Structure 1
Amino acid sequence: MNSSKQSKAKLVFLTRSAAAVLAIYGSSVSYAFAQSTDNTAKANDETSVAKVVVSARRREETLQDVPVSVTAYSADQISKAGVADVTGLALTLPNTTLSASRGTNSTLTSFMRGVGQQDPLAGFESGVGIYLDDIYLARPQGAVADIYDVERVEVLRGPQGTLYGRNTIGGAVKYVTRKMGPATDMRLKASVGSYGQMDGVFTASTALSDTVRVGGTLAKFKRNGFGTNLATGEDNYNKDVSAARLSAEFMPNSDLFIRISADTSQDDSNPKHGHRLTVGKISNAPVLDNVYDTRANLNTALGHKQQVTQTGVSALVEYQVQPDLMFKSVTASRHDTSYAPIDFDSLNKVDFDVPALYKNKQFSQEFQLTYTGKAFQGVAGVYYIDANAYDKFDVRLLGTSTFTEGDIDTKAWAAFADASFDLSKDLSLSIGGRYTVDKREASILRQIYLGTAGSPGMGNPAAVLFRTDTNLSKADLSREDKKFTPRISLGWKASADQNVYASWTEGFKGGGFDPRLNLVGTKLTVDKAKQGFLPEKISTFELGLKSAFAKNTVFTNVAVFHSDYQDVQIPGSVAIDTNGDGKDDSFAGVTTNAGKAKIDGIEIEATARVTDAFSLSGMLSYIDAKYTKYVGAGNIDVASQRVFQNTPKQTASIRASYDWDMAMLGNGGKLTLSSSVAFRGKTYQFETPTPILDQDSYNLFDASLVWTRTDGRVRVGLHGKNLNDARYKVAGYLFPTLGEGSTTAFYGNPRTYTLTLDYRF
Structure 2
Amino acid sequence: MYSMIALALLQSTALSSEPVPLAEDPAAETRPESPSSAGTGAVDDGAIVVTARRRTETVQDVPLAISVVGGEHIDNTGSFNVGRLQQLTPTLQFYSSNPRNTAVNIRGIGVPFGLTNDGIEQGVGIYVDDVYYARVASATFDFLDVDRIEVLRGPQGTLYGKNTTAGAINITTRQPTFDFEGRAEVSIGNLGFKQAKAAVSGPLSTTLAARLALSSTSRRGTIYNVATGNWVNEQDNLGIRGQLLWRPNSDVNVTLQGDFSTQDPECCTQIYVGTGATQRALNRQYAALAVAQGYVVPSTNAFDRVTDVDADLNAGNKIGGVNLRVKWDVGPGTLTSITAWRFWDWKPANDRDFTGLPITTQSQNPSQQDQWTQEFRYAQSGRNIDFVVGSFLFKQKVRTQGTQVQGPAASRWLINPSSPLSANPAVLDGLTAENDIRLDNTSFALFGQLSWKFNEVLTIQPGVRVNYDKKSGLYDSVVTGTASDGTRQLVLFSGPYSTDPWIVAQRAVLSPQRFEPKFSDWNFSYDVTVSAKLARDVLAYATYARTFKSGGINLNGVPNDAAGNPLLQAGAVDPESVRHFEAGLKAQFWNRKATLNVAAFRTDISDYQALVTNGQLGVLRGYLANADKVRTQGFEWDFSVRPSKRFNLYVNGSRTDATYRKFVDAPCPPELSGGGTSTPVAPPGTPGNSPANCDISGQRLPGVSKWSFSYGAEVNAPVTLFGKDGSVYLGFDGNSRTRFSSNPSPSAYTWIDGYSLSNFRLGFRTDSGLDIYGWVRNAFNTDYYEQLAVASGNTGLIVGQPGDPRTWGGTVRIQF
**Aligned residue in 2 for 1:612:** 645
**Aligned residue in 1 for 2:491:** 466
**Aligned residue in 2 for 1:308:** 317
The match for 2:475 among 444, 448, 456 is 444
Shift of 1:390: 2.6
Shift of 1:39: 9.2
Shift of 1:36: 10
Shift of 1:109: 1.7
**Greater CA drift, 616-625 or 729-738:** 729-738
SS in structure 2 opposite 1:574? Answer: coil
Shift of 1:531: 5.2
**Aligned residue in 1 for 2:592:** 552
Decide whether aligned partners of structure 1 residues 601 and 76 sit closer, same or farther in structure 2, where only a CA change above 3 A counts. same
Aligned partner letter, 1:417: G
Shift of 1:215: 2.2
Matched residues in 2 for 1:573 and 1:745: separation? 17
**Aligned residue in 1 for 2:378:** 369
Does 2:174 match 1:178? yes
Decide whether aligned partners of structure 1 residues 743 and 660 sit closer, same or farther in structure 2, where only a CA change above 3 A counts. same
Q: Aligned pair count?
A: 696
The match for 2:434 among 387, 403, 406 is 403
**Aligned residue in 2 for 1:15:** none
Q: Deviations over 1:174-217 (max 9, x none)?
A: 11012211122232111101101111122222311011112212
Aligned partner letter, 2:711: I
**Aligned residue in 2 for 1:749:** 804
Matched residues in 2 for 1:271 and 1:48: separation? 40
Aligned partner letter, 1:115: I
**Aligned residue in 2 for 1:626:** 659
The match for 1:698 among 712, 731, 755 is 755
SS in structure 2 opposite 1:115? Answer: coil
Matched residues in 1 for 2:717 and 2:522: separation? 58
Aligned partner letter, 2:311: L
Aligned partner letter, 1:684: S
Does 2:366 match 1:328? no
**Aligned residue in 2 for 1:503:** 543
Aligned partner letter, 1:424: N
Does 2:580 match 1:540? yes
Shift of 1:97: 0.7
Q: Deviations over 1:683-739 (max 9, x none)?
A: 11123222333211111111112321122x21112221111212222223313536x
The match for 1:113 among 103, 107, 111 is 107
Does 2:224 match 1:228? yes
**Aligned residue in 2 for 1:218:** 214
Matched residues in 1 for 2:403 and 2:787: separation? 22
Aligned partner letter, 2:359: D
Aligned partner letter, 1:336: W
Matched residues in 1 for 2:190 and 2:563: separation? 51
**Greater CA drift, 558-567 or 521-530:** 521-530
Decide whether aligned partners of structure 1 residues 413 and 315 sit closer, same or farther in structure 2, where only a CA change above 3 A counts. same
In the alignment, structure 1 segments of 5+ residues that lack a partner are: 1-34, 453-461, 577-583
Decide whether aligned partners of structure 1 residues 364 and 40 sit closer, same or farther in structure 2, where only a CA change above 3 A counts. closer
Aligned partner letter, 1:608: V
Alpha-carbon contact 1:236-1:293 (below 8 Å) kept: no
Q: Deviations over 1:553-608 (max 9, x none)?
A: 101100001111110001233233xxxxxxx4553433110230222210011110
Decide whether aligned partners of structure 1 residues 232 and 327 sit closer, same or farther in structure 2, where only a CA change above 3 A counts. same
Alpha-carbon contact 2:649-2:712 (below 8 Å) kept: yes
The match for 2:719 among 662, 669, 689 is 662
Higher gyration radius (CA) = 2
Decide whether aligned partners of structure 1 residues 687 and 526 sit closer, same or farther in structure 2, where only a CA change above 3 A counts. closer
Matched residues in 1 for 2:43 and 2:396: separation? 50
Decide whether aligned partners of structure 1 residues 49 and 215 sit closer, same or farther in structure 2, where only a CA change above 3 A counts. closer
Decide whether aligned partners of structure 1 residues 392 and 574 sit closer, same or farther in structure 2, where only a CA change above 3 A counts. farther
Matched residues in 2 for 1:369 and 1:245: separation? 27
**Aligned counterparts, 1:47-66, within 5 A:** 50-66=46-62
Does 2:296 match 1:285? yes
Shift of 1:108: 3.5
Decide whether aligned partners of structure 1 residues 52 and 411 sit closer, same or farther in structure 2, where only a CA change above 3 A counts. same
Shift of 1:477: 2.1
Aligned partner letter, 1:630: F
The match for 2:627 among 580, 588, 594 is 594
Matched residues in 2 for 1:573 and 1:401: separation? 22
The two structures have a TM-score, normalised by structure 2, of 0.81
Alpha-carbon contact 1:80-1:706 (below 8 Å) kept: no
**Aligned residue in 1 for 2:505:** none
Does 2:777 match 1:721? yes
Q: In percent, how many aligned pairs have the same letter?
A: 25
Alpha-carbon contact 1:715-1:758 (below 8 Å) kept: yes
SS in structure 2 opposite 1:190? Answer: strand
Matched residues in 2 for 1:64 and 1:335: separation? 36
Alpha-carbon contact 1:49-1:608 (below 8 Å) kept: no
The two structures have a TM-score, normalised by structure 1, of 0.87
Matched residues in 2 for 1:276 and 1:134: separation? 42
Matched residues in 1 for 2:358 and 2:750: separation? 24
Matched residues in 2 for 1:185 and 1:298: separation? 48
**Aligned residue in 1 for 2:454:** 423
Alpha-carbon contact 1:122-1:407 (below 8 Å) kept: no
Superposition RMSD on alpha carbons, in Å?
2.6
Decide whether aligned partners of structure 1 residues 401 and 38 sit closer, same or farther in structure 2, where only a CA change above 3 A counts. closer
Matched residues in 1 for 2:450 and 2:779: separation? 47
Does 2:425 match 1:414? no
SS in structure 1 opposite 2:274? Answer: coil
Matched residues in 2 for 1:638 and 1:471: separation? 29
Alpha-carbon contact 2:176-2:244 (below 8 Å) kept: no
**Aligned residue in 2 for 1:342:** 350
Does 2:383 match 1:387? no
Aligned partner letter, 1:114: G
Q: Deviations over 1:332-374 (max 9, x none)?
A: 1111111111212222232135222122210000000011112
Shift of 1:678: 1.3
SS in structure 1 opposite 2:138? Answer: coil
**Greater CA drift, 57-66 or 234-243:** 234-243
**Aligned residue in 2 for 1:603:** 636
Alpha-carbon contact 2:775-2:810 (below 8 Å) kept: yes
Q: Deviations over 1:90-112 (max 9, x none)?
A: 1221322123x11x157632111
Alpha-carbon contact 1:641-1:688 (below 8 Å) kept: no
Shift of 1:47: 10
SS in structure 2 opposite 1:571? Answer: strand
Aligned partner letter, 1:615: N
Decide whether aligned partners of structure 1 residues 278 and 401 sit closer, same or farther in structure 2, where only a CA change above 3 A counts. farther
Aligned partner letter, 1:556: L
Shift of 1:621: 0.9
Alpha-carbon contact 1:395-1:586 (below 8 Å) kept: no
**Aligned residue in 1 for 2:686:** none
Shift of 1:526: 4.8
Aligned partner letter, 2:639: A
**Aligned residue in 1 for 2:25:** none
SS in structure 2 opposite 1:76? Answer: helix
Does 2:729 match 1:672? yes
Matched residues in 1 for 2:143 and 2:117: separation? 25
Q: Deviations over 1:30-64 (max 9, x none)?
A: xxxxx9968989xxxx9975321111100111111
Shift of 1:125: 2.3
**Aligned residue in 1 for 2:74:** 78
In the alignment, structure 2 segments of 5+ residues that lack a partner are: 1-29, 37-41, 276-285, 411-427, 494-510, 667-690
